[in-house]
């Protein structure tokens, strides 16, 4: 499924602070921790806990969030389908980065081992 310009625009303007609590709820409901969530976000973006909180407090959009990130070069190893989209086929960079994060959060919630989530083995 290809993303549409409207979908990409919605992703661009969506606020990170409004989605973040859903990430926390999703992983905690499945027995994972907020600290593990932060490990995943840090791996993908290079942000430490203080920076994540600063971005939440600033109420940044996903465009601003990923604009300040240093995306892990191994992020391209994230494959599969998330939210109905095959990550490898997404041509809009920002939308792809958002789906990288969604996929990592999903894998964390599904109980996947951290080494696998962080593409370290």
Cα 107 to Cα 18, 24, 53, 63: the distances in Å are 21, 13, 22, 23
**pLDDT by residue (tens digit) across 66-102?**
999 999 999 999 999 998 889 999 999 999 999 999 9
Q: So what's the pLDDT on residue 99? A: 95
Distance between CA atoms of residues 72 and 42, nearest Å? 9
DSSP H or E segment with residue 86: strand 85-86
Distance between CA atoms of residues 79 and 87, nearest Å? 6
Distance between CA atoms of residues 60 and 14, nearest Å? 9
**pLDDT by residue (tens digit) across 24-81?**
999 999 999 999 999 999 999 999 999 999 999 999 999 999 999 999 999 999 999 9
Residue of 46, 29, 33 lying closest to 101 (CA atoms): 46
pLDDT band at residue 121 using 50, 70 and 90 as cut-offs? low
Q: So what's the pLDDT on residue 35? A: 98
Q: How many residues does the chain have?
A: 121
pLDDT band at residue 114 using 50, 70 and 90 as cut-offs? very high
Task: Please list, residue by residue across 24-63, b when 16 or more beta carbons sit within 10 angstroms of its beta carbon and e when fewer do.
Answer: eebbeeeebeeebbbbbbbbbbebeeeebeebbeeebbbb
Q: So what's the pLDDT on residue 5? A: 87
pLDDT band at residue 13 using 50, 70 and 90 as cut-offs? very high
Question: Can you give the C-alpha Rg of the chain in angstroms?
Answer: 13
Kindly tell me if the per-residue pLDDT of 1 is higher than 80.
no
Kindly tell me if the per-residue pLDDT of 10 is higher than 90.
yes
């Amino acid at each position: 499924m290809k993303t549409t310009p409207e979908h990409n625009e919605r992703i661009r303007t969506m606020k990170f602070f409004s989605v973040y609590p859903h990430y926390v709820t999703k992983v905690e409901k499945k027995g994972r921790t907020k600290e593990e969530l932060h490990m995943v976000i840090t791996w993908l973006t290079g942000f430490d806990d203080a920076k994540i909180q600063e971005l939440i407090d600033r109420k940044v959009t996903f465009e601003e969030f990923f604009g300040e990130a240093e995306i892990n070069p191994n992020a391209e190893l994230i494959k599969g389908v998330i939210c109905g989209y095959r990550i490898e086929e997404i041509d809009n960079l920002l939308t792809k980065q958002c789906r990288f994060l969604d996929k990592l959060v999903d894998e964390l919630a599904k109980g996947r081992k951290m080494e696998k989530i962080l593409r370290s083995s």
